[in-house]
Amino acid sequence: MSSILVLGSANLDLVVRQPRIARPGETMFGTAFSTVPGGKGLNQAVAAARAGADVGFLGAVGDDEFGRRLRTQLETDGIDTTGLATVDQPTGTAHIAVTDDGENSIVVVSGANHVQVALDDTMRSAIEGARTLVLQLERPVSLVAEALAYAQAHGVRTVLTPAPVAPLPSDLLALVTVLVPNAREACELAGVDDEFAAARILGEQGSTVIITRGSRGVLVLEPGGEPRVLPAVVVEPVDTTGAGDTFTGALCAWLAEDASLDDAIRAGQVAAAISVTRPGATSAMPGRSEILAALG
């Protein structure tokens, strides 16, 4: 059984580098193209494994070249793929435009990721044996909600990245131990414009709320406390794709070792800062020794 179990998406990222985001109706020349294993679930699993955690993955891919490549990537990083199903839909893809300033825009075609909408016995058994269940919203919300409830019933810590942000059932947040949105997602979920107010609202159900804000640091709200800011690790970004997933994966790896919340957040910040200084998502994620060296 895995200490960290990720239930999430697996996509192949199709990445083009370009000077800026194209305007409607405009054709422009890009400067580079690459294909990289991705999907928020796979990204977080790889980040956690490289940060030193024992990781299992629950997901779905198609019976195609992309799916085989994603399975190989997970296995290469030492991740248990017993729960990675092969289904009768094409493997998911993410179409990513990375601009010269390091920002990105992403269009996801879910494919196999949206085939399964309820837990099966393999998933239930894996959840029961984990210490932490990590989820995002690139799988059906019904599956995410059922997994959260099952994990809570079995005493398993739950970590949710609410991305891509979507309306959630009113009782879903009560099932989340640690909620990790970015600033835009937090405000949209809470229905407010202020990040501090968003943290308070999202924490009302008892979750620890960790709002990632890039160069402005991380906003943290622990149950019963007030929001506080942990400063960013400042670097010059090359490509921010996967930075949030790198943060979450390293955060969970440190939490799995019973590190303090602040130490786990700092490890996540350092891992994400390293990742944005080089291109790609999984291809940019650091290993444990690199994170430890940067932590000092």
Consult the annotation and say whether 216 binds a ligand: yes
Consult the annotation and say whether 194 binds a ligand: no
- Sort residue 3 into left (φ over 0), alpha (ψ -120 to 50) or beta: alpha
**21, HSE (Cβ side, Cα atoms, 13 Å):** 9
Say if strands 132-135 and 157-160 run parallel, antiparallel, or are unpaired: parallel
Residue 120 sits at φ, ψ, to 5 deg, of -115, 180
Consult the annotation and say whether 38 binds a ligand: no
Quick check: is 171 catalytic? no
Consult the annotation and say whether 239 binds a ligand: yes
Consult the annotation and say whether 111 binds a ligand: no
Consult the annotation and say whether 142 binds a ligand: no
Dist. CA 145–CA 135, nearest whole Å: 10
Consult the annotation and say whether 40 binds a ligand: yes
Consult the annotation and say whether 173 binds a ligand: no
Catalytic residue among 54, 77, 80, 245: 245
Consult the annotation and say whether 138 binds a ligand: yes
Consult the annotation and say whether 215 binds a ligand: yes
Consult the annotation and say whether 249 binds a ligand: no
> Partners of 4 in the beta sheet?
55, 132
The residues, any chain, with a CB within 8 Å of residue 161's CB and separated by 6 or more, are 40, 44, 134, 135, 136, 137, 180, 181, 244, 245, 248
Of 234, 241, 238, 232, the residue nearest 277 (C-alpha): 238
Question: What is the Rg, in whole angstroms, of the alpha carbon atoms belonging to the chain?
Answer: 18
Reading across the β-sheet that carries 157-160, which strands appear in turn?
Answer: 80-87, 55-62, 4-7, 132-135, 157-160, 178-179, 208-212, 218-221, 228-230
Q: Are 160 and 135 in contact (CB under 8 A)?
A: yes
Q: Are 45 and 70 in contact (CB under 8 A)?
A: no
Consult the annotation and say whether 120 binds a ligand: no
Consult the annotation and say whether 275 binds a ligand: yes
Consult the annotation and say whether 244 binds a ligand: yes
Consult the annotation and say whether 101 binds a ligand: no
Q: Are 238 and 277 in contact (CB under 8 A)?
A: yes
Consult the annotation and say whether 129 binds a ligand: no
Consult the annotation and say whether 245 binds a ligand: yes
Tokens of 100: 């010269």
Q: Are 265 and 180 in contact (CB under 8 A)?
A: no
- Give the residue numbers of the binding site for ATP: 182, 212-217, 244-245
- Give the residue numbers of the binding site for substrate: 11-13, 39-43, 138, 245
- Give the residue numbers of the binding site for K(+): 239, 241, 275, 278, 280
- Give the residue numbers of the binding site: 11-13, 39-43, 138, 182, 212-217, 239, 241, 244-245, 275, 278, 280
Residues forming the active site: 245
